[in-house]
Amino acid sequence: MTTISTKTFLEDPTHFFNLARRQDLAIKRGKVIFQLVVKPEFENPSPSGDPYWADQRNVVEMERRFREIDEGKVKTKILTPERQKELLGL
């Protein structure tokens, strides 16, 4: 972790914000230390902008379910077109 003074930080804040993306960075002011935490902004992966996918928890849950299917932990069924119509009441 790199620790700098507030004076050093204020000389070139953009440089230190970019540095914080690559490594832990703390700013010391007197006896207090402030740690900069970089948290990337989550982007909605839905091309239509569906708000369900804007919630990162939903995306993480779907990824977990797909991973379980790929690992064979979950049994899947492939429905025939006739069975799909029957289930949908078509």
25-52 residue pLDDT tens: 999 999 999 998 887 777 788 888 888 9
Q: What is the separation of C-alpha 24 from the centre of its chain, rounded to a whole number of angstroms?
A: 19
What is the pTM for the complete model shown? Answer: 0.42
32-35, long-range: CB < 8 A, 24+ apart: 33/3, 35/1
Q: Which amino acid is at 55?
A: D
Question: What pLDDT is attached to residue 67?
Answer: 93
Q: Is-contact 68 61, C-beta < 8 A?
A: no
42-81 residue pLDDT tens: 778 888 888 898 888 999 999 999 999 899 898 888 889 9
